[in-house]
Structure 1
Amino acid sequence: MTTPRPASAASFDAAPLTEPVDPKAVTAFAAELRARGSSGTNGSSIIAIVVIALMAIIVVPVVFTTIVGMVSTPGGSGFAIVPLVIFGAVAVVIAIGSFVGWRRARVTRYRLHRFAQANGMSYEGRVTAPALPGMIFSLGGSRMSTDLVRGTTPRFVEFGNYQYTVKRGKSSTTYRWGYVAVKLDVPLPNIVLDAKGNNGFGSNLPASFQKEQRLSLEGDFDEYFTLYCPEGYERDALYLFSPDIMARFIDNAAELDVEIVDDWMFLYTQRRVSTLDPATWAWLFGAVGALITKLDQWERWRDERLLLENQTAAASASPAASARLANERLPFAPPVGLLSPPPGVAHEGRRLKRSFPWVPVVFMIAFAAFWFWSRSF
């Protein structure tokens, strides 16, 4: 992956996103994806395509033959064939629309593949249930990432579209997100930046967090983001989000929700990230490029609580050994490096504490009350 830069630098090759494609090359790439089990077409889509094809091959000719027979029958009414004509026309439109959509999806995957190649990256059509620790990746069922574009230099970055389905009784809702996953050098506390620029009626995030974990930062950062960090990690958050890093987030990611969890940083949006729109890629490359140039200082962060946590665990595992070590007198001072905790996060900082999402529930109750009230009149 070439190092992303701000969008104004136009440091990537966007030509493969829009240039004409060779149909034979598209077919060959679709066969390659199927061979390695990474096609973006899932089982339900294949069934739908087969059903529509059968409609076009069987149903439409049958309808046409019936219409001809009715018209040629003496005394037949012309009005009787109107429903059949409408049914046949709808079947044809559905079949053509489905074929066009299927072909467009194949071309899109090929163009994204060529775009990734042109920019020193790789393309993957689909990953089922991606093993990522972000908040959106543990919800619902039928989890799937599609159209993944990945780079490994200067650090691993993945651009992808993601969806999951939540079932409520007999109904279900599919939620769609776009995301950018950036691999960090060390694990960090779970920190969430809820962007205010993309919120509607309350936060658009799929999770709510206890208000005691909300941290106000200096300057105008609070005008753009609501920051949540685990209780007791406020000083660590201030170190990680120094004024220069806050400025980068404001200037380049004010419309993106951000989550830091384990050794990952995720940028979330409720629009497609992996797309054929060059302007979207310019925006994302600019945002990622501006942020990752400031992440080196995060590598130096260490969690002092982890050292105490390890000592406590050792003492509980062997109380006698712990007491013996406490009474021993070392003839020399240990090196400073041995007193520093290793990379990692203590238990209390690994995940934010969730809260119950009262706002949607109150809204639903109010709507139901209004509906029953209006029905009573």
Structure 2
Amino acid sequence: MRTSYPFDAGPLVQPVDGRAVREFARRLRAEGRVTSMFGSPQAIIGFVVAGVVLLIVGSSFLSVIAGIVFALARSNGVAAAVAALVPTVVVIGAIALAVVLIIRAVQGSAERWYRLDGFARANGMTYVPQFGSPGLPGMIFSQGRSRQSTDLVRGDRPRFVEFANYRYVTGSGKNQTTHKWGYVAVKLDVPLPHIVLDATGNNGLFGSNLPLTFDRDQRLSLEGDFDRYFSLSCPAGYERDALYLFTPDIMARFIDNAAALDVEIVDDWLFLYAKRDFSTLDPATWAWLFSVVGALLDKLAQWARWRDERLGDAPTHAAHAAAAASALPLSGSSPPGATAVPFAVPAASLRPPPGVAAPGRRLKRGVPWVAVVVFGLIGLFWLIAQTGFLGLFFR
């Protein structure tokens, strides 16, 4: 992300050396940076059990087919025996195809790691293949279980930025769902109030695609066309602070560059979300993401000046500073042995410290009433159908 590193997508598409790819994957596994297929006792036990079952079933199947083939060869001739071999050939072919697909998948993962690592280094960044439970404060990182970030591309100039894919699982059994996200995490200079920009362009049938719903009383309407692209939520009482942060020029940057992304500001982080992979081998995706972050970075510096007046009583601070200053002897009239302070009290010392008061740190949760009503009606219709009540009207 530094000016000395022009955008270079070459490693994503240029031919690679197969031996270099295999050596890179071997090194990643040796360093523990990726999980091996046999990286846990449970995985080893699973492979052993699957192998034993496949061996027993395959041996039994082949034994039965062999008996049928020999019997048909003696009674009905060679043609019948050959016909009996067809199922065997199909089964063997299916097993061979499965083995080939597994090998190609493993090789494809290794090549992906190699290419993304080369892309990161070419652009002055670093690559991390996997990171379990990242623990970031954004809303998607506290959902479900089996949380994992993958294909992380990180840079720290001029500020820390991380591009990655993210997965978590909810439900169990037949109702288990794997949720897939792409995110960009940008480190801010100071903690800011919890603010969410819900992009209207990616909402679904039941409204927002975000995993959390926030109280509608926290919705803030901004000037211009901003509300056409984003629904902004901020904690009650922090409306003026949101207006201070989202000046017209910053709103224009978000509309022009990030209208397809959901945005969350929480603590000292800015997150960009979408329900798609961000860290891919597609140069166009990376060019878009780099342009989005680049367009926002020079505006984020304005936010470093924000302070939450609720953290300190500014007049009280000023009164204490004035009293202390009046007690100091003036230069040129100091009594013998006294030393005058040769500098003035800086204005910055009268401001509250960086941080956010408790009411502004998190938005209040809400209830997705549209989804509740729709699913409630579906459930009511199903219940009525099960009782046979509808049969009174449809005979």
Determine the C-alpha separation between the residues in 1 that align with 2:49 and 2:281. 27
Higher relative CO (Cα under 8 Å, sequence separation at least 6) belongs to: 1
Alignment of 1:328-347 (within 5 A): 330=323, 332=325, 336-347=347-358
- Which residue is 1:196 aligned to? 200
Letter of the 1:149 counterpart: V
Alignment of 1:302-313 (within 5 A): 302-308=307-313
Question: Which deviates more from structure 2 when the two are superposed, residues 334-343 or residues 351-360?
Answer: 334-343
- Which residue is 2:68 aligned to? 70
What SS is found at the alignment partner of 1:293?
helix
Alignment of 1:101-180 (within 5 A): 101-168=105-172, 171-180=175-184
Task: Provide, for residues 142-161 of structure 1, a one-character-per-residue CA deviation record: whole Å limited to 9, x for no partner.
Answer: 11000000011111100000
Give how far 1:71 is off.
1.9
What SS is found at the alignment partner of 1:266?
strand
Letter of the 1:22 counterpart: D
Give how far 1:130 is off.
0.4
Alignment of 1:45-64 (within 5 A): 50=47, 54=51, 58=55, 62=59
Letter of the 1:337 counterpart: A
1:99 is aligned, of 81, 96, 103, to 103
Checking the alignment, whether the CA contact within 8 Å between 2:29 and 2:36 is kept in structure 1 is no
Pair 95,345 (structure 1): closer, same or farther in 2 beyond 3 Å:
same
Ranges in structure 2 where 5+ consecutive residues have no aligned partner: 327-344
Pair 173,51 (structure 1): closer, same or farther in 2 beyond 3 Å:
farther
Give how far 1:104 is off.
0.8
Determine the C-alpha separation between the residues in 2 that align with 1:215 and 1:256. 18
Matched, 1:29 2:56: no
Task: Provide, for residues 124-150 of structure 1, a one-character-per-residue CA deviation record: whole Å limited to 9, x for no partner.
Answer: 010011021100001111110000000
What SS is found at the alignment partner of 1:189?
strand
Letter of the 1:90 counterpart: A
Matched, 1:247 2:258: no
2:367 is aligned, of 356, 362, 367, to 356
Determine the C-alpha separation between the residues in 2 that align with 1:50 and 1:255. 42
Give how far 1:373 is off.
4.6
Matched, 1:298 2:300: no
- Which residue is 1:314 aligned to? none
Pair 364,40 (structure 1): closer, same or farther in 2 beyond 3 Å:
farther
Q: Number of residue pairs matched?
A: 357
- Which residue is 1:2 aligned to? 2
Task: Provide, for residues 188-234 of structure 1, a one-character-per-residue CA deviation record: whole Å limited to 9, x for no partner.
Answer: 00100000111111100000000011000000000000000011110
Pair 331,128 (structure 1): closer, same or farther in 2 beyond 3 Å:
closer
Matched, 1:39 2:50: no
Determine the C-alpha separation between the residues in 2 that align with 1:236 and 1:49. 55
Checking the alignment, whether the CA contact within 8 Å between 2:144 and 2:170 is kept in structure 1 is yes
Pair 230,41 (structure 1): closer, same or farther in 2 beyond 3 Å:
farther
Give how far 1:290 is off.
0.3
Checking the alignment, whether the CA contact within 8 Å between 2:165 and 2:181 is kept in structure 1 is yes
Question: Which deviates more from structure 2 when the two are superposed, residues 280-289 or residues 160-169?
Answer: 160-169
Structure number, greater radius of gyration: 2
What SS is found at the alignment partner of 2:95?
helix
Give how far 1:28 is off.
1.4
Pair 115,335 (structure 1): closer, same or farther in 2 beyond 3 Å:
closer
Determine the C-alpha separation between the residues in 1 that align with 2:63 and 2:241. 76
Task: Provide, for residues 82-138 of structure 1, a one-character-per-residue CA deviation record: whole Å limited to 9, x for no partner.
Answer: 655544443333222222122111111111011101111100010011021100001
Determine the C-alpha separation between the residues in 2 that align with 1:4 and 1:269. 29
Determine the C-alpha separation between the residues in 2 that align with 1:204 and 1:358. 14
Checking the alignment, whether the CA contact within 8 Å between 1:129 and 1:143 is kept in structure 2 is yes
Determine the C-alpha separation between the residues in 2 that align with 1:353 and 1:102. 44
Give how far 1:14 is off.
0.7
Determine the C-alpha separation between the residues in 2 that align with 1:2 and 1:41. 34
What SS is found at the alignment partner of 1:190?
strand
Give how far 1:330 is off.
3.4
Determine the C-alpha separation between the residues in 2 that align with 1:205 and 1:95. 39
What SS is found at the alignment partner of 1:345?
coil
TM-score by length of 1: 0.84
- Which residue is 1:217 aligned to? 222
TM-score by length of 2: 0.81
Letter of the 1:13 counterpart: D
Seq. identity, %: 56
Checking the alignment, whether the CA contact within 8 Å between 1:160 and 1:274 is kept in structure 2 is yes
Checking the alignment, whether the CA contact within 8 Å between 1:3 and 1:289 is kept in structure 2 is no
Determine the C-alpha separation between the residues in 1 that align with 2:383 and 2:120. 54
Ranges in structure 1 where 5+ consecutive residues have no aligned partner: 6-10, 312-325
Give how far 1:331 is off.
5.7
Checking the alignment, whether the CA contact within 8 Å between 2:69 and 2:84 is kept in structure 1 is no
Determine the C-alpha separation between the residues in 2 that align with 1:262 and 1:67. 67
Task: Provide, for residues 254-310 of structure 1, a one-character-per-residue CA deviation record: whole Å limited to 9, x for no partner.
Answer: 00000000110000000000000111001100100001111110000010001149x
Checking the alignment, whether the CA contact within 8 Å between 2:65 and 2:84 is kept in structure 1 is no
Pair 113,56 (structure 1): closer, same or farther in 2 beyond 3 Å:
farther
Letter of the 1:364 counterpart: F
Determine the C-alpha separation between the residues in 2 that align with 1:173 and 1:121. 33
Determine the C-alpha separation between the residues in 1 that align with 2:93 and 2:56. 11
What SS is found at the alignment partner of 1:294?
helix
